[in-house]
């Protein structure tokens, strides 16, 4: 037997961060663009944009900043606050997995 769970962070009763949102932020860090990140994750641009917009709306500080095109083209930046939130989420995720793995071990020891 194995105990499993998913975690997410809410703020003011709205979803702030979850695994999909964190993966999107991480991919934006790699690609420097919401569009490229969406393609990498096989997600529509519209969905990716809605997730980014939602995170920024729920948060007290922006996680992502965008700049419009122009001579050098536009781009997307995950803010330092966004990077901190990725790190906090991944730490919570690791600790929760460790907890549930320990609970799974206890269940299996009772058999």
H or E element, residue 5: none
CATH of the domain at 33: 1.10.10.10
Q: Would 57 be classed as within a structural domain?
A: yes
Full pLDDT tens readout for the chain, 111 residues = 888 888 999 999 999 999 999 999 999 999 999 999 999 999 999 999 999 999 999 999 999 998 876 666 678 999 999 999 999 999 999 999 999 989 988 888 876
Any idea what the Cα angle at residue 92 is, between residues 86 and 96, rounded to 5°?
145
Q: Would 44 be classed as within a structural domain?
A: yes
Cα–Cα distance between 89 and 6 in angstroms, integer? 12
H or E element, residue 44: none
Tokens 């990498």 sit on residue: 40
Q: Would 1 be classed as within a structural domain?
A: no
Predicted structure pTM score: 0.87
**Range of 24's domain?**
8-110
Q: Would 3 be classed as within a structural domain?
A: no
Q: Would 73 be classed as within a structural domain?
A: yes
Q: Would 101 be classed as within a structural domain?
A: yes
Q: Where does the chain show beta strands of DSSP type E? A: 8-11, 14-18, 64-67, 75-78
Please give the tally of structural domains in the chain.
1
């Amino acid at each position: 037997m194995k105990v499993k769970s998913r975690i997410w962070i809410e703020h003011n009763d709205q979803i702030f961060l979850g695994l999909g949102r964190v993966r999107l932020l991480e991919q934006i860090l790699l690609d420097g663009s919401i569009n490229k990140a969406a393609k990498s994750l096989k997600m529509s641009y519209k969905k990716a944009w809605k997730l980014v917009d939602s995170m920024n709306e729920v948060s007290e500080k922006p996680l992502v900043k965008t700049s419009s095109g122009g001579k050098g083209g536009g781009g997307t930046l995950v803010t330092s606050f966004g990077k901190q939130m990725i790190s906090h989420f991944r730490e919570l995720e690791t600790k929760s997995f460790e907890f549930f793995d320990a609970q799974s071990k206890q269940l299996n020891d009772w058999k």
